[in-house]
Structure 1
Amino acid sequence: MIPFMSFRFSLVAAPLLILAYGVLRVLDGLDGSRGPGLAWTAGHLAFMAALVLFVQIFWRLRAMAGRDVLSTASAAVGTVGVVTLLGQFGVDIVVGFAAADHAAMTPLFEQVRSVPGMQPVLYDVGPYLFYLAQLALVGQLAAMRRVRAWLPVLVLAYLALPIADKDLMPLGAVFLLVAFLPFIRAARPAASLS
């Protein structure tokens, strides 16, 4: 069983790492292009660290929802989404290291996307599983009245803001952190636990 403190750490660290990615992404774009470089790589590594933490978050939310078929499917789908996003961000980092400048990144990305299956798995379908699982698990917990009804609204705002404008990702990460606050409080270890 995962210790309570570890779960609480993940609930705080994951949104903060997404916030770091969003801020670094904005900073990276100040010169008119994104990548390659330090901000590109550091931002991607921050998001990848958040993704790893989300595996634990998904499975703990599943436990909070009663480990039923729906929560298990949501956690499994979310984990698949994590794996695909790790693949996508891994490609981004490798391309960033391989390219001399931003213009040189485009043909490298085109090479990756031309590999059969890569476009749907790493870009078109796979990553969305990560986001859908977040909404599904929090939505299920709200439907079960284990969390307040406004939590899925915050998660939805966190998911929608980057779709509207990727530069809004830092604000979305703040919404996610606020959405996780009730889980953080609920995960506090009892005084009898060591």
Structure 2
Amino acid sequence: MDTSKHGRITPFAVVGGPALMALYGGIRLLEGSRDPGVGWLVGHSLMLAGLVLFVPVLVALERRPAPNRTAAGRVAARTALGVALTGLAASVVQIGIDLYVGAVAVDKADQHRLFDGIQSHPGVVPAVYSVGPLLFYVGLLALLVAGAVGRARSLCWWSPVLMLTGTVLTAVDLALIPVAAVCYLVALAPLVGVGGVGRPVAA
């Protein structure tokens, strides 16, 4: 990936990803938005775009300035990136299923029938709805923790704390997605620095 192009994309992704998630969360709160129709499709389309924007964010975190990083540290960072991208892919598949169901279902009952039919296939629920998407947050949190510790840290200590807080909030109640999105935005804000990959934080 071209470094200068990546540097231009990252600040946009840092803001755009959480912002689109917040819009999705806001639409979910509107009456009728959880039934098949325009609200469902618009909201899930925004969420899909927001998830895609996290790809350059994850890459930026893995490539953060770390002159003293050891070989083991590089392997760990790449592993965390792989875990996060795997979870992100699972989340994208989940949203894709949601969009398909929302587009073809004629009413709420048909929506439930379609979801039941898809989720009844072996392995779909853990891969796409439970374990799979969780890997995104595990990998992302690992990258944030790695960026917030050590002498060459390029993130602040509160970045992983806010990311974890936002994730817990969504697990407690999906109505809190807009609040969680703000947590993600603030957590990732230090990435918007020189070259789009953050400035080293002074010890």
With structure 2 as the length reference, what TM-score do the two structures score?
A: 0.85
| Cα separation, 2, equivalents of 1:86 and 1:22 | 16
Match of 2:200 in 1: none
| Cα separation, 1, equivalents of 2:188 and 2:148 | 13
8 Å CA contact 2:60, 2:196 repeated in 1: no
Q: Are residue 6 (structure 1) and residue 9 (structure 2) matched? A: yes
Identity within the alignment, %: 36
Match of 1:127 in 2: 133
| Cα separation, 2, equivalents of 1:167 and 1:89 | 17
**2:27 paired residue among 24, 27, 45:** 24
* Cα distance per residue 1:26-64 (max 9 Å; x no partner): 11xx34x71211111111111111111111111110011
Matched residue of 2:96: which SS?
helix
Structure 1 alignment gaps of length 5 or more: 190-194
Residue 188 to residue 89, structure 1, CA distance change in 2 (3 Å)? closer
| Cα separation, 2, equivalents of 1:79 and 1:174 | 22
With structure 1 as the length reference, what TM-score do the two structures score?
A: 0.89
Q: Are residue 143 (structure 1) and residue 146 (structure 2) matched? A: no
Deviation at 1:146, TM superposition (A): 2.4
**1:182 paired residue among 174, 186, 190:** 190
| Cα separation, 2, equivalents of 1:126 and 1:186 | 33
Deviation at 1:8, TM superposition (A): 0.9
Which structure: greater helix fraction?
Answer: 1
8 Å CA contact 1:8, 1:187 repeated in 2: no
Q: Are residue 37 (structure 1) and residue 37 (structure 2) matched? A: yes
Deviation at 1:165, TM superposition (A): 1.1
8 Å CA contact 2:10, 2:196 repeated in 1: no
8 Å CA contact 1:17, 1:46 repeated in 2: yes
Deviation at 1:139, TM superposition (A): 0.9
